[in-house]
Structures are given as structure tokens and as C-alpha cells.
Amino acid sequence: MLLRRAKEGGWLGAAAPAAVILVLALLPFMPVVGENRYLLSLLIGAFVFAVFAMSFDVLLGYTGIVSFGHALFFGTGTYTAILLAKYAGAGFWTALTAAPLVAALLALAVGSLSLRVKGVYFAMVSMAFAEFFRVVAEKASPITGGSDGLAVQVAPDWAYGPRNRVELYFLTLALAVVTYLVLRRVLASPFGRTLVAIRENEQRAAAVGYNVFAFKLGALVLAGVVASLAGVMYAATENFVVPSVLGVDTTIQVLLMSIIGGVGTLGGPALGAGIIRLAGTLLSSYTERWRLALGVLYALLVLFLPGGLAGLARAFGRRRAARRSAAGEGGVVAGGTARAS
Amino acid sequence: MGLITWLALQGLTVGLLWFLIASGLSLIFGLMNVLNFAHGALYMLGTYGALTIYMATGNFVLALAGGTLVGAVLGALIELLAIRPLYGRQLFQVLMTMGLILVFDEAVEAIWGPYPLPFAVPAALQGTFTVFDRPFPVYRLFIIGVGLTVWLLVHLFLTRSRLGIIVRAGVEDREMVQALGIDIRKVFTGVFALGGALAALGGAVAGPFEGAHTTLAAENLLPAFIVVVVGGLGSFTGSLLAAILVGLTQAFVGYYAPQFALAVNIALMAVVLVLRPQGLLGRQGG
């Protein structure tokens, strides 16, 4: 794998994945080296959002579905966990089982309505549905605490408390790694290949005989389920929820991560999640308006580097490869970017 | 009878505000296939722009004009700087406008602060009159008047002026208009400016009614989307019909069953999507 990449992509093509693997290999030892609670919280957040970003990539990067309401499923996970803990006294593991079920049902219901329309129409409608549930969470204040939110312990006792957050660190890291491996497997399966075929040319996929609607619905359910798991982990790290977790702001965050990392690569959005979380925290200590800087950076990326960091690494590789072989077989196909329908 | 008239007027007020924001969104999409997620931000900037000018000059007409101008200029700038370089890549245009939400939201907070600002109703438009023994604010009637006037003016512009006919022809068939030797890019910038102006005028007019606060953009984007989906993307008159329908539904359900006021709009959108995915007056499905 690494060798083949080195052949295709020159030094950066090999160095980038190698560096990522190295960092990942070192990560488990981080808490042992220094139990810095602040740093741990930062990394925990990065892992949670990496899972969320990977689920978003199933839709945007692999299926070519532009959803601007993906926060709905993240928020579903968070609210399921919080509400279960509050009213049923249910713990973390119950939430981790129940949330995917709720999310799957919700994805089926919302998807069968909204997937009737495509492209930007879907973007608009998906956002409308997410906003609808955000307002419901806000209005149902007797149950959800409204815009003041609801605080209750979701994290298991052994991972909660005033001491360090090492247990939660490993839990979220494990979830991120497992999500990556499972999604990579699923996306390499015939199901995942069909999703990519739909992204590339929906009419052709339909003409070949695939039930495009069913596959898209499947992608939405898969993405929704994974996002809800991230939501449960978010509930366990924060032990608190406010309606904005379902809103446009949350979706914008995951969108930023995916674009910065590079859609359609699974690893890219996960990396983007880490960068945004770390950069956000770092920048916010310098300026209160760091989100403005982030927005401008995002706009520039969309303009000049649509493939994100993953695309940049690939472009470097291509240039090297092209320079080396004057014959120019041009092995790698242009960036892993989703197309508009 | 009295109650129905009174509620209908309430619904018209809200509906015509949504018409102003939704019609620009719909025109831009119809002509350029760009879904401008930053459209709500232009509405919000219309409110803040008008408020700033009103506080400085005390002249409400000037405030409305200035607020509208802010929207027009920003609309043109968005098209020139952010949309045009991504010509032919629709998805990235949409992603771009989504990112602009972040920029505009933060900019508004940086300039005007995070706290809501009061926006006084101008003296000439204060007071109420009675509709079948029920008080109805004069200012709401003003909003209805502005909405209908704008609809009439833009409708006349689209159907009677040469430029308007080019815009409508562009919605119908962009390539053909280009083939006739018309610089469609200038038309694009113009329509973006018009859309921005309509949204900002809506925001400016709504100012004394809603006040100025930083969540205006997010709050108004959703109803605008619902109106556009129900009315049919690209249809100007469809936006008016849908906005009035959504406004009336909102007013009546809000009065008789307030807990369903929000759900009913989404339900309306869902029903329209199932029965007519292209919207009431839309031409083709998405």
C-alpha cells in the first residue's frame, strides 16, 4: 500500500500517509506520557468530530449527496443519550445501542421524503428538516430544557469525574479507528462501489439497473447511524446538550472539516476534523474572531484547492510522477472530489 | 369574519416579508442554478444597514434605501468574487455560499456586537387602527404595502423591460440567450444584485418589526427555503403565491393551535414535495 503510493505519488504521497500512521501509532501513548487534561479534551473532541466527518463523507464524498442537514443525526445521537440518561436512567452503553436505531429510523423517514429531490434541492430540504428538529428541541423545553440545554451524566462512571479523561480518550480513539476501518470496508464493497457509480453518473447507474433511490437511502441510513454514534460520544464527553447541536452551525463545522481535509477520501475529513478542532482552540486564544478567519480560509480552499489537503498531496504526487515519466501514463485520476448532479 | 380578516392581514405581513427574501433566492437559482445559502445573511445585513443609517440620519426612507443598497452591492460582490470563479462547478458554488454564512455572521457580530439592538418604528408609521374591533398596527400595513409594490415593480420589470425579458429568457434557456450575443455574465451579476437588494429590503422593512439581532440570518433562511420549495424554484410569482400561502397558514395555525405553528410549514413543504416535487409553479423536478 505504502509502496504503491510511493511509486505513484513521489515523496509526499508516501510521507503523508506514513506521517498519519506514525501519529496514530503514537496517539495511544499520549495520555501515558503526559496526562494533560486540556490536551486530552482537545483530542477527544477531534476524535468525535472525525467520526462525524467520516459519516458526512459517505454522503458528500462517496455518494455525491449534498446534505446540509447532517447535524440532525449527530444531534439525534446526543439527544438520545441525554434524554435516556435523564428520564430512563440509562447509561452510556444503552445509548450507544439505542441511538443508531433511532437514527436509522429517522434517516429512513426523512430520506424517503427528501431523497425524492436531488442536488441543491436536497441540500435545501435536508437543512429544513434539521432546522425543524432544532426548533422542536428548543420549543419542547419542559422535556429538553429548551435553549438552556440539559445537563446529565452520560459517560460511564469509570470515565467520568474530576480526574483525568484517559478512559474517554481511549474510548473515542477506538470509535474513530473502528469507524474508519468499517467504513473503508463498506465503501470498498459492491454497495460502496455502487454509491460511487451513482456519484459519477446517476442516470447511467439507473440505466444499468440499480435502484438508485434505495442505494441513496442506504447511504443516508449508514451516514446517519455513524453520525449518531459520534453524537453519543459527544454527549458522553460534554454531559450536556443544547439545541444548536442540531443546527446549521454544526453542519457548517463538519463541512469545513471535510473540505479542508478533502472529500471522498475518508481519511481526509477525519484529518480535517483534527485540524479544525486544534486550530480553532489555538486561534481562539489569539483572537475572538477566529471563526471569521476560518470562514475566509474555507472560502479560499473552495476556490483554489477543492480537493483539500488530500487533494494537495495527490496533486504533488501527480506532478512528480509526470516529471519522472516523460511518457506520462498519468496513472492517478483527477482529485477525489464530489460532483454536482 | 372579523377574526378571519385580522388573521389574514397578520399572515399577509409575514408572507410578504418572506416573499421579499424568497423571490431573490428563487430568481438567482432559476437563472444561474446557484443556491445562495448566504441569502439570509443579506436579509440580516439589510436590517443592520438600515438601522445604522436610521440612527445616523433619522430618515427612515433613507434607511430603507441604504439598507437595500447594502444588499445589492454585497450581492454583486458575492457573484463577482465567490461565484464566478467557480462557474460550471455548481456544488462548489453551493459549498462556497455555505461558508459565506460563517464569514457574514462573524462580521456582523464583530461590527455590531452580539446583543440585539432596538429598531424604533418611525413616528409616521406608529399607532394602530381597528379591523372589526381588533387593533392592527399601521406598520404591518406598511409592510404589506411595500411587499405588494415590490412584487408589482419587479413583475413589470421582468415582463415589460428588455433587460427583464433577457433575465426570463436566461431562466428558460441560458445557452440560447448567450448565443444571441448577450453577455450573460453581466446579467448574472445584475440578478445577484437584484436578489441581494430584495433580501436586504425585506430585512430593512422588517427591522422595526423584529429588531436587529445576530440570529436573523439563520431564522429567515429556513422560511425562505420553504417558500422557494413550495413555490417552485425560479418562479417569481410562484414565490409570491407560496409566501402568502405559508404566511396565512402560519397565522391561522399559530392562532388556533400555536404548538403546531412550526410543524405545519414543514408539513406543507413535505406534502408539496410528495405531490409536486417541482413546486406549485416550478417547471421541472429537481
For residue A326, pLDDT beyond 60: no
Contact B47, B177 (CB under 8 A): no
For residue A125, pLDDT beyond 60: yes
Of residues A113, A247, A291, nearest to B102 (C-beta): A291
Residue span of the structural domain in which B188 resides: 2-215
Contact A98, A85 (CB under 8 A): no
Contact A48, A234 (CB under 8 A): yes
> How confident is residue B169, by pLDDT bands cut at 50, 70 and 90?
confident
Of residues B95, B233, B270, nearest to A259 (C-beta): B95
CB contact under 8 A, A302 and B101: no
Residue with cell 458554488: B93
Of residues A120, A122, A295, nearest to B99 (C-beta): A295
Q: 3-class SS at A332?
A: coil
Q: Does a structural domain hold residue B94?
A: yes
Can you read off the three cell numbers belonging to residue A247? Answer: 443546527
- pLDDT tens string A27-47: 766 666 566 777 788 888 899
CB contact under 8 A, B90 and A129: no
**Separation between Cα atoms, residue B94 and residue B90, nearest integer Å:** 6
Closest among B117, B74, B78, B98 to B214, alpha carbons compared: B117
Contact B216, B210 (CB under 8 A): yes
Can you read off the three cell numbers belonging to residue B8? Answer: 389574514
Nearest Cα residue in chain A from B285: A117
**Separation between Cα atoms, residue B173 and residue B33, nearest integer Å:** 12
Q: Taking CB atoms and an 8 Å cutoff, what residues of chain B touch A128?
A: 222, 225-226, 229, 266, 269
Q: Which residues pair with B117 in a beta bridge?
A: B212
A260: Cα separation from own chain's centroid: 12
- pLDDT tens string B176-207: 888 888 888 888 899 999 999 999 999 999 98
The rounded percent of chain A whose pLDDT value lies above 90 is 33
Of residues A117, A123, A247, nearest to B277 (C-beta): A117
Contact A110, B266 (CB under 8 A): no
- pLDDT tens string B141-165: 999 999 999 999 988 988 888 888 8
The answer to whether ipTM exceeds 0.90 is no
For residue A161, pLDDT beyond 80: no
Contact A127, B222 (CB under 8 A): yes
Q: Which residues pair with B131 in a beta bridge?
A: B134
Q: Does a structural domain hold residue B248?
A: no
H/E element holding A135?
helix A119-139
Distance from CA of B152 to the nearest CA of A (A): 28
- How many CB pairs (< 8 A) connect A and B? 118
- Enumerate the H helices of chain B as residue ranges: 2-32, 39-57, 60-77, 90-112, 138-160, 162-172, 174-179, 184-210, 216-231, 236-256, 261-275
> In chain A, what are the domain boundaries?
13-310
Q: How many domains does chain B have?
A: 1
Chain A segment 282-311 residues within 8 A of B by beta carbon are 289, 291-292, 294-296, 298-299, 302-303, 306
Q: Which residues contact B168 (CB under 8 A, 6 or more apart)?
A: B158, B159
Nearest Cα residue in chain B from A256: B99
A56 touches chain B (CB under 8 A): no
Q: Does a structural domain hold residue B278?
A: no
Class of domain A13-310: mainly alpha
Query: Phi/psi at A320 (nearest 5 deg)?
Result: -60, -50
Can you read off the three cell numbers belonging to residue B186? Answer: 453581466
Q: Does a structural domain hold residue B255?
A: no
- pLDDT tens string A196-240: 999 998 889 999 889 999 999 999 999 999 999 999 999 999 888
Q: Which residues pair with A241 in a beta bridge?
A: A150
Closest among A221, A70, A107, A112 to B274, alpha carbons compared: A112
**Separation between Cα atoms, residue A130 and residue A143, nearest integer Å:** 19
